[in-house]
Amino acid sequence: MTAAPGGPLKIAIVSDYYFDYVGGAQTSMRQQKLALEHAGHSVIVVSPARGFRGARYQRSPDGLLVKPLFRLPVLDLAVIPNNARSVAALERYLRSEKVDVVHVQTEFGLAHVVDAAAANMGIPLVHTVHSFYWASEGPPQASVAWFIRWALQLVIGEKIPNILFTPRKTDNLLRNLVLAMARRAKQVVSPSKHQADDLAAAGVTGTISVIPNPIATTDVASNALTIEQARRPSFLWVARCEPVKRPLHFARAVIVALARTDNGFTVDFVGEGSDLPALKKLAANHPEIRVQGALPHDEVLALMDASAAIALTSLGFDNQPMTIAEAVSRERGVLYCDPKLKEGLGNSGYLSESPDAAGLADALVALVEDPSLLVGLSEGALVDRELFSPTNYVERIIEVYRR
């Protein structure tokens, strides 16, 4: 189907990730869907389903659920092989839905299945890269990287490049997997310029458009930070509680800063992951540190509104975290330590002098001792949040779709 010029489009957003897992990519896709639907377009989601029985393909209110062959437990990743049978089934579905554009947002088996189906139909494929910076902790796992490469190539039905981005074998393999998908798409979207530059340097030849992640859920009005809130501030750290997000680095910085400010602030940690037990142990003797675990999204937004600023402590891992978009949309500044993440934080970001615990502690102390800094960041968020507005996203992504 070809939509009339300027008319509403039917878009299929495709993800290999389970949508019941709360991650940045899933949050971004939900917000994209809302923004596009509010603008009058139709959006269906094609994604794996967890634990359903019966038919391999099951329609849902949002689109199509695909039963995976099996699930990789450590990555919580659905394995959906790219084969002729799967391609034919997805092609039938996309034709029946009269889809105009396929927007792939992952790089594993399902993404390649839908890529092939879209090619058969002659409809545009757009690829958003949510992370080119796969990273992990622990042993390099060189002994199993060859097997993972072999298995992934079987699943996606394509040879994966072998460009050296990092000496960690499995991380390097996953970065090359992302590259393989990005090289297939004529239209690539990156939420950040620094990732777009790295993709181009890695050999992506399609048009790369920098389009920030949108925030479309604005049912609850935001409020500017008051000087009273800033005088004994509360900070919010919200992410997966995993080493790549560096919660323990920040917790150690918090403990140092609490001692230097006479316990002059509080911090809420929200999220689950492998670092959660160690985080709870660090916080045990500090009532100012509240380890919340996982919380529903509405409760996270309430904590964000109650906080004076949001802490973002990843380094060299993130493309453009949804934390930035959500924080500035709620009129809150962001304390961060990775200079590559400055996009969207021109007026609302406070960059620590160094990314280590000492640098983060110094930044906390500076913000606590001068409440006007936090108020200024809140005022700056009103300017920066326009970058993440649903209107801005829809205008720019529809231009990509119509190319």
Instruction: State the CATH number of the domain containing residue 155.
Output: 3.40.50.2000
pLDDT value at position 145?
A: 77
- CB within 8 Å of 370: residues ≥ 6 apart: none
Residue 77 lies inside a defined structural domain of this protein = yes
Q: Tell me, yes or no, whether 121 and 137 share the same domain.
A: yes
Q: Is residue 3 part of a domain?
A: no
**4 within domain boundaries:** no
Strands 70-72 and 77-79: antiparallel
In this prediction, residue 143 carries a pLDDT of 62
Whether 342 and 287 map to the same domain: the answer is yes
- What is the pLDDT, as a whole number, of residue 54? 67
CA distance 245 to 187: 29
Residues 375 and 397 in one domain: no
Tens of pLDDT, residue by residue, the chain (403 residues): 445 457 899 999 999 988 776 677 888 999 999 999 999 999 999 999 887 776 788 888 899 999 888 877 656 678 888 999 999 999 999 999 999 999 999 999 999 999 999 999 999 899 999 989 887 766 555 667 778 888 888 888 889 988 898 888 888 889 999 999 999 898 999 999 999 999 999 999 999 999 999 987 767 789 999 999 999 999 999 998 999 999 999 999 999 999 999 999 999 999 998 999 999 999 999 999 999 998 988 899 999 999 999 999 999 888 888 889 999 999 999 999 999 999 999 999 999 999 999 999 999 999 999 999 999 999 999 999 999 999 999 999 999 999 8
Structural domain harbouring 206: 10-217+389-401
What pLDDT does 22 receive? 63
Q: How far is CA 93 from the centre of its chain?
A: 27
How many whole angstroms separate alpha carbon 229 and alpha carbon 240? 26
The answer to whether position 258 is within a domain reads yes
Domain check: are 262 and 333 in the same one? yes
Domain count along the chain: 2
Indicate whether 32 and 175 sit together in one domain: yes
Indicate if 293 and 350 belong to the same structural domain: yes
Does residue 173 share a domain with residue 128?
yes
User: Which residues face 401 on adjacent strands?
Assistant: none
Give strand pairing partners of 10.
42
77 and 38, same domain (yes or no): yes
